[in-house]
Amino acid sequence: MNYLVLKITGRAFNADPHLLRRYVNVVKSLLDARKLVVVTGGGAYARKYIEVARDVGVESNYWLDLIGILASRLNSLLLISALSNHAYPHPPESIEEAVKAVGCYKLVVMGGLIPGQSTASVLLQVAEALGVKKVYYYSAVGRVYDRDPARYPGARPLSVITASELKSILEQRTLPGEYALIDANALEISVRSGIEIQLLDYREPEQIYNALEGENPGTIVIPR
Amino acid sequence: MNYLVLKITGRAFNADPHLLRRYVNVVKSLLDARKLVVVTGGGAYARKYIEVARDVGVESNYWLDLIGILASRLNSLLLISALSNHAYPHPPESIEEAVKAVGCYKLVVMGGLIPGQSTASVLLQVAEALGVKKVYYYSAVGRVYDRDPARYPGARPLSVITASELKSILEQRTLPGEYALIDANALEISVRSGIEIQLLDYREPEQIYNALEGENPGTIVIPR
Amino acid sequence: MNYLVLKITGRAFNADPHLLRRYVNVVKSLLDARKLVVVTGGGAYARKYIEVARDVGVESNYWLDLIGILASRLNSLLLISALSNHAYPHPPESIEEAVKAVGCYKLVVMGGLIPGQSTASVLLQVAEALGVKKVYYYSAVGRVYDRDPARYPGARPLSVITASELKSILEQRTLPGEYALIDANALEISVRSGIEIQLLDYREPEQIYNALEGENPGTIVIPR
Amino acid sequence: MNYLVLKITGRAFNADPHLLRRYVNVVKSLLDARKLVVVTGGGAYARKYIEVARDVGVESNYWLDLIGILASRLNSLLLISALSNHAYPHPPESIEEAVKAVGCYKLVVMGGLIPGQSTASVLLQVAEALGVKKVYYYSAVGRVYDRDPARYPGARPLSVITASELKSILEQRTLPGEYALIDANALEISVRSGIEIQLLDYREPEQIYNALEGENPGTIVIPR
Amino acid sequence: MNYLVLKITGRAFNADPHLLRRYVNVVKSLLDARKLVVVTGGGAYARKYIEVARDVGVESNYWLDLIGILASRLNSLLLISALSNHAYPHPPESIEEAVKAVGCYKLVVMGGLIPGQSTASVLLQVAEALGVKKVYYYSAVGRVYDRDPARYPGARPLSVITASELKSILEQRTLPGEYALIDANALEISVRSGIEIQLLDYREPEQIYNALEGENPGTIVIPR
Amino acid sequence: MNYLVLKITGRAFNADPHLLRRYVNVVKSLLDARKLVVVTGGGAYARKYIEVARDVGVESNYWLDLIGILASRLNSLLLISALSNHAYPHPPESIEEAVKAVGCYKLVVMGGLIPGQSTASVLLQVAEALGVKKVYYYSAVGRVYDRDPARYPGARPLSVITASELKSILEQRTLPGEYALIDANALEISVRSGIEIQLLDYREPEQIYNALEGENPGTIVIPR
């Protein structure tokens, strides 16, 4: 049985419930033909909790990250509870637990794993562990642009970009709750194990059907 | 070394950060002379997440409760991160783990444990396991009234009430995220093991100093 | 695949081995068409060990209950060993472990879980977690009577009773080893999640065949 | 801090509670000056349960042994509950867990570990792991005789015997619940790591005080 | 589904990679028709590491054995990584974990378990736990001889030997890294549970095909 | 009590035992005044095993890395066994386990944690988790040079370098067993949490005494 490995940005969990229902339906329909591992991001509550922690004097990035990780698992649990007939009943806390779980269950949903590592890295690590060569990543924008679209109205979306180009474009941020679209560590795993990343727009869960039929609805990151 | 076992309602974690800082300071100062086990409730985020789960079609109380439990652990982690020099580094997931942890660490912070059980029950179970005969419970009101104060302006606070009287007053609710002030199961443990419950007002963390000196700033529930 | 969730009173394990063999055969035959979770009570050895503990000075209900729980797991292990080709090889120690186990194994056998909670509560919790709406409970009497049959010779068995009626009839006992037929906490889970309880006579393991065909060989507790 | 490692035969747990109280007192008093690891045997209930399992058709020595192991842990829990202020709160399930526990707690109580291995072997393994060179073993007789005292009235107790002499005397039995006084595997560990075994009479818990003062109230097995 | 339980001596992992590739192929082809549990020995690296530990002053057999056990797990991981599509993803650390794993996975690979116990004992324990009556053991020689072939040129290989004869022939060694072909404990499990041991030459992985067709390419140890 | 966090390159474990004995002595003497966490690299055996795995056809970086991680834990165990009176008795498998362990034990020794992450990253993560602002790293060279000393005879050692300068000098390699001196991920943690890295020459374990007195025997990496 083949595997589908994807990530859903935390943002999808704090938007309207209708969007989340669409994700639930998409995941359910994908389960018919394959096993799924879904990685969930942290989102607004993660950031909110991290902010409160800072307010009460927590300065350690380790602890702030742990809070973000637990919040991302709350998003995992939300998805698990909606698909509990098919899912491994709790978010794995290591890649090894995920690998074990996927041997017995059709659906595994997990959040962050360790401080200092983004959930995008988790996505790539799971793919590497399972020998999967393409992952799907629902992100805030769904595309990479040639310039920052927030500042340049004429910025144009790219359909393909290499991992090393993307690495030089992205401003690296590694603060808790503030991980960039994708971090250097994730891109390195992508390159070393030849894993292609299909970016998708988190507002359009159904885009994955097109992507599975060979279309490219967002940007593809080539592992080079 | 003696133990102090207390619960902080989830509400305290969603109010202004200043209140939370006061809790951090109170817990820190109490650690000088004793070991502490702190149980944290779920609060607004627990209810919010449970609501979202319902919106995407989750009907099972088991799963809704699990979401509430994970949210209560997020509150635990917040407190742990602010007191990480003294604390067992994650919320125990069973009474047994809590008992083990308190043998080695000065501070243990934990949330809910199992579906169908309130965090008030966790408070009483920890006390029973450690042989503690009095617990402190920061709740939304801090007192029990002779009538519902929301409806009867002349309702008067009681300084003492028996567990069985309280049981007959309380409307029992056992829905996820909607556990009453204290549930029957918690009161039964209180009675069977003779554990007194000192209610305190969650807006006044420092009340516990008075309570430890023998005053009664809220209502005391007698285990009878 | 559908689930069958049932409880066998501890008494069945301390009677003649012939009775236990009948249980083994019944469970084996039921496995042909479905997955089973079996909860085993503590029984005579649980009470015996609790009594010895009291004799050496143990007063804590927490520890006395833990002893009862371990004894109930000894009964689980007995059943597991007799059905080891089909069974998850040890008694789960939490509802979550049971849910995980039942995803991979045809038969899961478990005893008590936490102090202050009866094995009848475990029965209802497992059912709630698996979304099962009817459970089978082999108990000492198998029926509820309109009056205490030990004192009133004319007491008549009831074929149906609501959970709330049953709650008001039962004298609540929550001492280690002395849990009543069914406790308030179990009945609350039954009501909140709409789970019907079919009582069966523990001396007649084969009654379940009739019950599965729609008959009512004992008393049915309606979740209201 | 130095360690004292001892085993109490299962028989001590099924005798009169007064004897068990004496053990509790002895263990408590020994804790003043050192850390203790106590291994508990299975005894009558272990054999009773194994017999029931055989009656319902269990033939596998693996499963029969597992039942004996769980029963021996019930004896451990009894002792833990009576000394819960000092004890690691549950019986370790591996030597490694015991080694970890003894780093943090004054008292560790454990039963059998794996099928095919006697609790006498556990005693020697713990000692080897902790670097302890003498262990105390409360057994049914407390002494080794030059001939079988049950058959030869003139049999004389030996105050000292080597491990290899003892090995050739003992009829080796390795059936579940029927392990001999001490088995070959235990004696091999004794020899390879130079651990002396002081046999004591289980009816006289206080003999250990004499043994600790250099007397030999039973038989000493020399690791040769 | 039936089980095949076999052991590969550590020596096979330190020889040329070509031999190891043959083992990988043999294991892969055997998986078509059955589930496999493979026990891996420690071999040269185990002995090397134990030697280094002795050089830095480690005298405890417990710790030296633990090092040997971890080295044997490194051999397990090598085999798991080459067969990761079929294998439980890490070496079980107890018989119970192995029994659980084999319920969900086609292939389980494991090394040593506890100090003082050879991997040959692990082989027999797994077989006993799974109810398997014949095991396959790739060892350094593959046969038992009537005399030590290293010293007597005329020594003749035996096709059959009883466990008790073998026991008296073998010089018992129980030092870390120096366990003999098979130890007394393994032979006792063989006898008590009636498990036949087919010895095979580790240089000829394909011998097992012949053995499975009823031939005897090495020596068979009869459980008597 | 303050913490000292250091890493010893795997190379130190494959050199002459005399060097390893010096490390054992250094670690022992450091324990007098503080708690230690020691991270051990993989070294020659890790690379050897990874090579064998490649030879039998393993291509997945995930599995190759896991082999390297287990080999690094073998080095940890070597150190633990030589210091078993003070050490947590096995290598933690997550940062959280390390944090927990250090609350109870004076010495914690650990190897790699997850695929795709160097043991240098583990060093920085442990420091971040414990709030330590300076770490010690015994590496192959002990110093950073302004040019590759292997190619340029006139290359000069630097006493201080910033993390960002070092990042641009180092050729990034992330293949199993081939991690560079320090990787980008480790340097990012260093920068985000302000942790200084003192490089030391692995051939001179005693250099740390000088470093602790404020000298700089190698190169210091400034977290900027």
- Confidence at residue C179, expressed as pLDDT on a 0 to 100 scale: 56
pLDDT, tens digit, for every residue of E17-28?
899 999 999 999
C106 lies within 8 A of chain A by CB: no
Among A211-215, B79-83, E155-159, the least confident range:
E155-159
**Digit-coded pLDDT (tens) for D164-210:** 999 887 765 555 665 568 888 899 999 999 999 999 999 999 999 99
Collect all residues of chain D within an 8 Å Cβ-Cβ radius of residue F90.
96, 100
A83 touches chain B (CB under 8 A): no
What are the CA-CA distances from residue B167 to residues B157, B185, B199, C224 (Å)? 16, 10, 15, 20
pLDDT in tens, chain F (224 residues): 689 999 999 999 987 889 999 999 999 999 999 999 999 999 988 999 999 999 999 999 999 999 999 999 999 999 999 999 999 999 999 999 999 999 989 999 999 999 988 999 999 999 999 999 999 999 988 898 887 777 788 888 999 999 999 988 776 555 566 556 888 889 999 999 999 999 999 999 999 999 999 999 999 999 99
Q: Which of A142-146, D61-65, E206-210 is least confident?
A: A142-146
Chains C and E touch (3+ CB pairs under 8 A): yes
Contact list, C90 vs chain E (CB under 8 Å) = 96, 100
Structure-model confidence comparison of residues F175 and A182, the more confident one:
A182
Helix, strand, or coil here: E177?
coil
Q: With CB atoms and an 8 Å threshold, state whether A17 touches B56.
A: yes
* Structural contact between residues F92 and F114, judged by C-beta atoms closer than 8 angstroms: no
D67–C70 C-beta distance less than 8 A: no
| pTM of the entire predicted model | 0.93
- Going along A64-151, which residue ranges are E strands? 107-110, 134-139, 144-145
Across the range E88-117, mean pLDDT stands at: 95
Place of tokens 């380790």: A62
- Cβ neighbours of residue C183 closer than 8 Å, sequence gap 6 or more: C118, C120, C121, C170, C172, C174
Q: Is the separation of the CB atoms in A109 and A5 below 8 Å?
A: no
CA–CA gap between residue C189 and residue C187 (Å, rounded): 5
Tell me the helix, strand and coil percentages in chain A, rounded to 5.
40, 15, 40
Question: Which phi-psi region, left, alpha or beta, contains residue B78 (left: φ > 0; alpha: ψ -120 to 50)?
Answer: alpha
Q: Is the pLDDT of residue D150 over 80?
A: no
Chain D residues near residue C78 by CB distance under 8 angstroms: 49, 52-53, 56, 67
pLDDT tens digit sequence for A125-145: 999 999 999 999 999 888 988
Which of F113 and C174 is assigned the larger pLDDT? F113
Per-residue pLDDT, averaged over D102-120, amounts to 94
Q: Is E2 near chain C, with CB under 8 Å?
A: no
> Which chain C residue has the Cα nearest residue E98?
C89
Say yes or no for a CB contact (<8 Å) between A81 and B60.
yes
- Please state whether beta strands E196-201 and E220-222 pair in parallel, antiparallel, or not at all (unpaired): antiparallel
Q: Do C96 and A90 touch (CB under 8 A)?
A: yes
Q: Which residues in chain E have Cβ-Cβ distances shorter than 8 Å to F55?
A: 17, 20-21
Q: Report CA-CA distances (Å) from A200 to A118, A159, A171, A203, B106.
A: 18, 11, 20, 9, 47
Nearest CB partner across the interface for E104, out of A96, A99, A104: A104
F104: contact with D, CB 8 A cutoff: yes
- Pick the range with the lowest mean pLDDT from A21-30, C164-173, E93-102: C164-173
Residue of E83, E84, E102, E108 to mutate when probing chain A, most A C-beta within 10 A: E84
ipTM over 0.90: yes
* H-state helical runs in chain D: 17-30, 43-55, 61-82, 95-102, 119-130, 163-169, 184-192, 207-212
pLDDT of residue C171: 61
How many Å is the Cα radius of gyration of chain A?
Answer: 17
Strands D196-201 vs D220-222: parallel, antiparallel or unpaired: antiparallel
DSSP lists the bridge partners of residue C160 as C220
Chain C residue at shortest CA distance from B183: C185
List phi, psi (to 5°) of B34. -165, 170
For chain D, percent of residues with pLDDT exceeding 90: 76
- Report the alpha-carbon distance of residue D49 to residue C92 in Å, rounded: 20
Residue A198 CA to residue A217 CA, distance in Å, equals 9
pLDDT (tens digit, 9 = 90+) per residue, C13-59? 987 889 999 999 999 999 999 999 999 999 988 999 999 999 999 99
Give residue C173's pLDDT band: very low, low, confident or very high (50, 70, 90). low
Most C CBs within 10 Å: which of B58, B62, B126, as the mutation test of the C interface? B62
The pLDDT, as a whole number, for residue B127 is 97
Is it the case that residue C178 has pLDDT exceeding 60?
no
Query: What's the CA gap between E35 and E29, in Å, rounded?
Result: 11
Neighbours of chain E (3+ CB pairs under 8 A): A, C, D, F
What type of residue sits at position D195? Answer: I
E46-58 confidence digits (pLDDT tens): 999 999 999 999 9
List, in sequence order, every residue forming a beta bridge with C53; answer none if it has no partner.
none
Query: Counting Cβ atoms within 10 Å, is residue C153 exposed (0-12), middle (13-18) or buried (19+)?
Result: exposed
Across the range D88-96, mean pLDDT stands at 96
**For position A87, what pLDDT does the model report?**
96
Task: Supply φ then ψ for residue F209, to 5 degrees.
Answer: -60, -45
A113 CB neighbours in chain F (<8 A) are 114
Does E192 sit within 8 Å of D175, measured CB to CB? yes
pLDDT averaged over every residue in chain B: 92
Of B133, B220, B130, B132, nearest to B182 by C-alpha is B220
Contact yes or no for E87/E105 (Cβ under 8 A): yes
pLDDT band at E1; cut points 50, 70, 90: low
Of the pLDDT bands very low, low, confident and very high (cuts 50, 70, 90), residue C152 is confident
Partner F contacted by A94 (CB < 8 A): yes
Q: Rounded CA gap, D149 and F138, in Å?
A: 65
Any CB–CB contact under 8 A between D94 and chain F? no
- Chain F residues with CB-CB distance to E21 below 8 A: 55-57
Q: What is the 3-state secondary structure (H, E, C) of C196-224?
A: EEEEEECCCCCHHHHHHCCCCCCCEEECC
Q: Chain E partners of F56 at a C-beta cutoff of 8 Å?
A: 17, 20-21, 24, 78, 82
Q: Is F98 on the interface with A (CB under 8 A)?
A: no
Residue D121 is predicted with a pLDDT of: 95
Instruction: Output Rg (C-alpha) for chain B, integer angstroms.
Output: 17
Cα C130 to chain centroid distance, Å, stands at 16
Cα within 13 Å of Cα(F127), Cβ side: 31
The amino acid occupying position D183 is D
Give the nearest partner residue to A104 out of C96, C99, C104, using CB atoms: C104
Say yes or no: D110 contacts chain C, CB-CB below 8 A: no
CA dihedral F19, F25, F26, F28 (to 10 degrees): 150
Task: Decide the pairing of beta strands A220-222 and E3-8.
Answer: unpaired
Verify whether the Cβ–Cβ distance B128 to C61 is below 8 Å.
yes
Task: Evaluate whether F102 touches B88 at the Cβ level (below 8 Å).
Answer: no
CA gap D39, D91 in Å, rounded: 9
Q: Give residue B131's pLDDT.
A: 95
Tell me what pLDDT residue D1 has: 60
pLDDT of C88 over the 60 cut: yes
Over residues A39-83, the pLDDT tens digits come to 999 998 899 999 999 999 999 999 999 999 999 999 999 999 999
Tell me which chains share at least 3 CB pairs under 8 Å with chain D.
B, C, E, F
Which of these, F173, F183, F186, F175, lies nearest to F50 by C-alpha position? F175
Query: pLDDT tens across C187-207, in order?
Result: 999 999 999 999 999 999 999
For residue E170, the model assigns a pLDDT of 76
Using the predicted structure, report yes or no on whether residue A179 has a pLDDT greater than 70. Answer: no
Phi/psi of residue C213, nearest 5 degrees: -90, 10
The pLDDT of residue E186 is 93
Q: What is the DSSP secondary structure assignment for residue E75, as one 8-state letter?
A: H
The least confident of B20-29, C140-149, F182-191 is C140-149
Residue D209, chain E, CB below 8 Å: the answer is no
Q: List the single range of A16-30, B28-42, C84-98, C169-183 with lowest mean pLDDT.
A: C169-183
